[in-house]
A and B are shown apart, each in its own frame.
Chain A
């Protein structure tokens, strides 16, 4: 078995305690379920001298219904609970579906929703042992200067692979981060009090696979807030993978449709993941679909058009393992599946 490098483990019982640790300790990482962090530590893709475990913090674990019908989901809620939650199914059906499609049953019992949001990007040239990466000559994401996906590529294109983020995009989820300023920040004159920062899900990511998030490592994702579902709204998530379980997405598509009282589409949102470092929203979705009535030939034509336009912009790269040409061919197919799944 690959050895887990040594680190000091901290087990706070409150959010504030966790924030204090992460601000104070150098080389610190949070660990939720550990299904991503531990393999990455073993592969020496990341290093950590301190690990702050979040499992004993009770306030991170609830699914709460808000006045007005929205939800907050504690970041440490296991994926299996999210998948099985009637509240999540009601407010954000695609999120429950996506949570139920992450990895395998054991991973979903261990892995958490917050952990899935914070999942590192993935690439066939990085998710390997140190020995393997050394034999390769390393890569842009860690220890190296070359990209093996894109010839002469200067920016890492490892793929955003968190199934649950695409549904969070289409449902307008807000991610709540808390932090204490680090020593360096205090020295630079930052205020010393705790920061609470809401980040819309679709503002979290940047196009850099080396680290694709716009939050710092010492910031703790505490909960995910979902607004109430619009009337006559539905959503669906489709995941492409070779096996019926375990695998990361070769492609993931979330769609949301809201209908007006007459049954025509009032709002349409389609988001694709597992292409490059950042999820991709199909900007043409409203233009193609809004105003169309499902079940009509015009809707079918509009969906075909969206799938076609989508497949021109959403181009899989040879970053994650698998058949890139097949993934590309599946883009329009899975856009259509995701949209139809809302109906």
Chain B
């Protein structure tokens, strides 16, 4: 197990000249042919030249355009809605309101509290109230201003601490008045081990408060949906979603259309990051409007509307208390977390569990308690963003761990090594850990960053910081209880030589369809040009639960292997019949099929398909994956229970300008244990993208709502993302621990590599200028304030480290 730098002199894809992956690739050493190759993404060229079809590229004959009327109030009752003037406008085909779609929905079946259009109440500025379908966008927009809505304005809940206090009144009732716990959306408290004993046995116990701000996904493609109803009443919905299956379930339920008569298709997607993993208002609305008008209907959101739809990272107030012994062993961790959920539940039940359940690795500690409460506020609803629910606690804990290391005078990397939970073990909350490459991740970032010669030794203003993390590769918690496969796939092959895979897996740009292709090439020995992947079309593809929780490579990958091996048996049987030998003698691979005991019998794969088609009838196979039973034997024990965990370590290098407070990040070394890199280029892309996203949300982003309850700046000018010149040099160091249950040993790489970026940055700032930043984002103003505080303290005492 060794780390490979995906750039620089050892890069497996040199910028010019032929690729020579074999020279550096562990997978080729293991005898793989396609696995481990940095094959270009299936849709890569189409995207690069602009010919890829996204939802907004779909134009159908007679298509209408729909727009949404949104609430200008953060909390109000709808007294009346009058659509007459809007309907009278020439070019308007239909206007619908909440009364047309009265069924509640929500991605988690236990907490459904959303309406496609508000029925009786609006809960944040931007909440959907009515929708118009018109001949063009301008007419639809004009019609929105002709809808007369009378509101009874209510007091708003903008502070999570106030929501927690739950002082309800007639003037300021609960945001969801039918919710049992007022403004408390969900509370989870779990305890493992003896915490009192843990803190008693510690030499140093620290307790600190941390603040994690909100951030959003800012995928470059805004949400878009197109619906059409056929003459026979079949509904087709094209949507920029990462959860085709759940969208089908929810739209079917809300519209009262059987799932068998609703086809949901995900076209090419311009990024999602968790921001497209809920069913959204526009999906229900275009379907309803298509039914009402008998015309195809499209809705494309503006960037501002995407900010209102949000579902981004939850702001959290976190208090952590951790104990450590003089020799660097963690004894216990206690966490109390207040989560600002915004106006709806979304994935909040899971978020609340994840905020506690995912902290129990990569470090071993014998006692753990967490108490997490998610509250509703009158703000855009929060949900899952890359590293769902666990980036915030990870930030707080890894900064505290740095402080503990400092307090006992031990190198922070050594402290992390000392507490490494290792492989084939169980966490304190009962999660099964199999493969674990965390130690190799620490080694890699330590070596590549020059840590030993530089940490604590750089001139003032320059620093290095480290952090580690663990993340899931999918979980065995099915969002709705069922015993069916979590991932299913179908293969079709015929005399043309083409293998077509049908997968419900959502390729959201992360490359899941390309992973399916790699696996088919590996298993059946065909060239990548001879594989086609049809994905995320509910009419054509078997069910897959979607692209969330970093489940796709692991689950869809395993399902693909299963289907390939079933297909291989079929082809071997056909050829064996033809050759009158035992099927076990028929070798299939490298584009050839031959008899292992008589090499004279040699045919092409395509010829083998012909023979098998003749002998065995029309060819096809299926495959599936389901997790084994996992998780602790307690309520919620399966939430966060994953068949495999990925591990990450970052070293971040920082430069702090003590005059302006501005922070520059020249380098981030990201070592990530992805089990096995099925496609190293895609893995490195995910690692770099994750690290970028983490650094940027620490430095620039702030999903704020102002004193009026208005989003502080719903545009990509006011919500700053790093530009190319602000982006650190990202060093992706792939670590392969070869997971026993993953596809060829593979695990996730899309979310885990984000986590350590934020705490490692805070820890690097401490190394650079001696200040502890526990409140995100790290704005220059906060840096200067902390430097002032340090100078004031220095005059009183000398800090210990």
Interface digits, B703-734 against A, CB 8 Å rule (1 contact, 0 not)? 00000101111110110101111100000000
CB 8 Å contact bits of A313-333 with B (1 = contact, 0 = none): 000000001010110011001
With A124-B718, A243-B722 in contact, do A330 and B72 touch (Cβ < 8 Å)? no
In the complex, the 9 A-B pairs of residues with the closest C-beta atoms, listed nearest first: A135-B72, A326-B781, A244-B725, A323-B781, A245-B723, A244-B726, A135-B125, A321-B718, A2-B302
A-B contact pairs, 12 of them (CB 8 A): A2-B302, A3-B137, A124-B713, A129-B304, A135-B73, A135-B708, A136-B708, A242-B662, A243-B725, A244-B726, A326-B661, A329-B781
Question: B residues touching A (Cβ–Cβ < 8 Å)?
Answer: 70, 72-73, 125, 137-138, 141, 222, 300, 302-304, 659-662, 700, 708, 710-715, 717-718, 720, 722-726, 779-781, 784
Question: Do A243 and B726 have beta carbons less than 8 Å apart?
Answer: yes
Q: Is A17 an interface residue (CB 8 A)?
A: no
Q: Residues of A contacting B718 with CB < 8 Å?
A: 124, 127, 321
Given contacts A129-B304, A135-B125, A321-B718, contact A246 B723 (CB under 8 A): yes
Find chain A residues with CB under 8 A from B779 CB.
242, 323, 326
> Would you call A321 and B725 a contact (CB within 8 A)?
no
A7 at the interface (CB under 8 A from B): no
Does A246 contact B660, Cβ atoms closer than 8 Å? no
**Complex CA–CA separation, A23 to B784 (angstroms):** 52
Interchain CA distance A174-B727 in the complex, whole Å: 39
Contacts of B125 in A (CB 8 A): 135
CB neighbours (8 Å) of B720 from chain A are 242-243, 246-247
Q: How far is the CA of A245 from the CA of B141 in the complex (A)?
A: 33
A15 to B302, CA, bound (A): 37
CB distance from B225 to the nearest CB of A (A): 15
Return the contact of A242 from the options B73, B304, B700 (Cβ within 8 A): B700
Are the C-beta atoms of A323 and B780 separated by less than 8 Å?
yes
Interface residues of A in 229-265 (CB under 8 A from B): 240, 242-247
Interface centre among A3, A131, A243, by most chain B C-beta atoms within 10 angstroms, is A131
Most central of A134, A244, A247, A333 by chain B CB within 10 Å: A244
Distance between A120 CB and nearest chain B CB, rounded to angstroms: 14
Q: Are B710 and A132 in contact (CB under 8 A)?
A: yes
CB of A27 within 8 A of chain B?
no
Question: Complex Cα distance A329/B73, Å?
Answer: 35
Whether the pair B710, A330 counts as a contact (CB closer than 8 A) is no
- How close is A106's CB to chain B, nearest CB, in angstroms? 11
Other A-B pairs beyond A326-B779, A333-B660, 20, CB < 8 Å: A1-B303, A3-B138, A128-B713, A129-B304, A129-B714, A131-B72, A132-B710, A132-B711, A135-B710, A242-B720, A242-B779, A243-B722, A243-B726, A245-B723, A245-B724, A245-B725, A323-B781, A326-B780, A326-B784, A329-B781
Q: Is the CB of A2 within 8 A of B304?
A: yes
What's the nearest-Cβ distance from chain B to residue A114, in Å?
Answer: 22
Determine if B723 and A131 form an interchain contact, defined as CB atoms under 8 angstroms apart: no
Q: Does A6 contact B (CB under 8 A)?
A: yes
Q: In the complex, A2 Cα to B137 Cα: how many Å?
A: 10
- Of all chain A residues, the one with the shortest Cβ separation from B144 is A131
Measured between beta carbons, the chain B residues less than 8 angstroms from A3 are: 137-138, 141
- Complex Cα gap A326–B784 (Å): 9
Once bound together, how far apart are the Cα atoms of A18 and B534, in whole Å? 56
Cβ of A144 under 8 Å from chain B? no
Contacts of B780 in A (CB 8 A): 242, 323, 326
The answer, yes or no, to whether A104 is at the interface (CB within 8 Å) is yes
List B contacts of A325 (CB < 8 A). 781
* Min C-beta distance of B498 to chain A, whole Å: 38
A245 contacts across to B, CB distance below 8 A: 723-726
Instruction: Tell me the dominant secondary structure on chain B's binding face.
Output: loop
| Contact, CB under 8 Å: B700 / A124 | no
Whether B723 and A244, one on each chain, are in contact in the complex, defined by CB atoms closer than 8 angstroms, is yes
CB–CB B137/A136 < 8 A: no
Binding site for B on A (CB under 8 A): 1-3, 6, 104, 124, 127-129, 131-132, 134-136, 240, 242-247, 321, 323, 325-326, 329-330, 333
Task: Using CB atoms, name the residue of chain B closest to A104.
Answer: B723
Interface residue from B73, B304, B659 paired with A132 (Cβ < 8 Å)? B304
Interchain CB contact (< 8 A) of B72 among A127, A134, A246 = A134
Tell me which residues across on chain B come within 8 A of A134, comparing CB atoms: 72
The CA-CA distance from A323 to B704 in the complex, in Å, is 13
Query: A262 → chain B, closest Cβ, in Å?
Result: 31
Closest to A137 in B: B708
Q: Which chain A positions have C-beta within 8 A of B722?
A: 243
CA–CA, A127 and B714, complex, Å: 10
**A244–B73 CA distance with the chains assembled, in angstroms:** 36
Given contacts A323-B779, A326-B661, A326-B784, contact A1 B710 (CB under 8 A): no
Closest-CB distance, A43 to chain B (whole angstroms)? 10
Tell me the smallest distance from the CB of A325 to a CB of chain B, in Å. Answer: 6
List A contacts of B300 (CB < 8 A): 1
For A2, give the chain B residue with the smallest CB separation: B302
Give the complex CA separation of A325 and B713 in angstroms.
Answer: 19
Chain A residues whose CB sits within 8 angstroms of the CB of B712 once the complex forms: 124, 321
Q: Are B784 and A329 in contact (CB under 8 A)?
A: yes
Give Cα A131–Cα B303 distance, bound, in whole angstroms: 13
In the complex, the answer to whether B72 meets A243 with C-beta atoms within 8 Å is: no
* B304 neighbours in A (Cβ, 8 Å): 2, 129, 131-132
- Give chain B residues whose Cβ lies under 8 Å from the Cβ of A6: 138
Taking CB as reference atom, which chain B residue is nearest A328?
B781
Report the Cα distance A136→B714, complex, angstroms: 14
Residues of A within 8 A of B303 (CB): 1-2
A329 to B715, CA, bound (A): 27
Question: In the bound complex, how far is the Cα of B302 from the Cα of A132, in angstroms?
Answer: 13
Contact residue among A104, A243, A326, A333 (Cβ-Cβ distance under 8 Å from B700): A243
**Bound complex: CA A316 to CA B73 (Å):** 30
Minimum CB distance partner of B664 in chain A: A244
Q: Is the CB of B781 within 8 A of A136?
A: no
Q: How far is the CA of A330 from the CA of B780 in the complex (A)?
A: 10
A145 CB to closest chain B CB (Å) equals: 16
Expressed in whole angstroms, the minimum distance between the Cβ of A147 and any Cβ of chain B is 14
Q: Are A1 and B713 touching (Cβ within 8 A)?
A: no
Alpha-carbon distance between A116 and B722 when the two chains are bound, in angstroms: 24
Q: Are B713 and A321 in contact (CB under 8 A)?
A: yes
Chain B, residue nearest A131 (CB): B70
A329–B138 Cα gap in the complex (Å)?
45
Whole-angstrom distance between the alpha carbons of A104 and B723 in the complex?
A: 9
Complex contacts, B222 vs chain A, CB 8 Å: 1
The distance from the CB of A81 to the nearest CB of chain B, in whole angstroms, is 21
Across the interface, which residues of A come within 8 angstroms of B708, CB to CB?
A: 135-136
Q: Compute how far the CA of A285 lies from the CA of B141 in the bound complex, rounded to whole angstroms.
A: 52
Give the docked Cα–Cα distance between A330 and B141 (Å).
43
Q: CA–CA, A325 to B788, complex, Å?
A: 14
Report whether A333 and B138 are in contact in the complex, using a CB–CB cutoff of 8 Å.
no
Q: How long is the Cα–Cα vector from A135 to B710 in the complex, in angstroms? A: 8
Which residue of chain B has the shortest Cβ distance to A320 in the bound complex?
Answer: B718
Contacts of A124 in B (CB 8 A): 712-713, 718
Residues of A within 8 A of B662 (CB): 242
Do A333 and B659 touch across chains, with their CB atoms under 8 A apart? yes
What CA separation (Å) do A323 and B780 show in the bound complex?
9
Q: How far, in whole Å, are A119 and B500 apart by their CA atoms in the complex?
A: 56
Bound CA–CA A129/B304 (angstroms): 8
A324 to B314, CA, bound (A): 26
Cα separation A74 to B710 with both chains bound (whole Å): 42
- CB-CB under 8 A from A247, the residues of chain B are 717, 720
Instruction: State the CA gap A1–B302 with chains docked (Å).
Output: 4
Residues of A within 8 A of B72 (CB): 131, 134-135
Question: In the complex, what distance in Å separates the CA atom of A34 from the CA atom of B339?
Answer: 43
Within the complex, the shortest CB–CB distance from A98 to chain B, in Å, comes to 17
Q: How far is the CA of A55 from the CA of B71 in the complex (A)?
A: 40
Q: Cβ of B138: which chain A residues have Cβ within 8 Å of it?
A: 3, 6
Separation of A129 and B711 alpha carbons in the complex (Å): 12
A139 to nearest B CB, angstroms?
A: 11
Q: For residue B580, give the distance in angstroms from its CB to the closest CB of chain A.
A: 66
A118–B709 alpha-carbon span in the complex (Å)? 33
Q: How far is the CB of B143 from chain A (nearest CB, A)?
A: 13
**Contact with B714, one of A132, A242, A246, A329 (Cβ below 8 angstroms):** A132
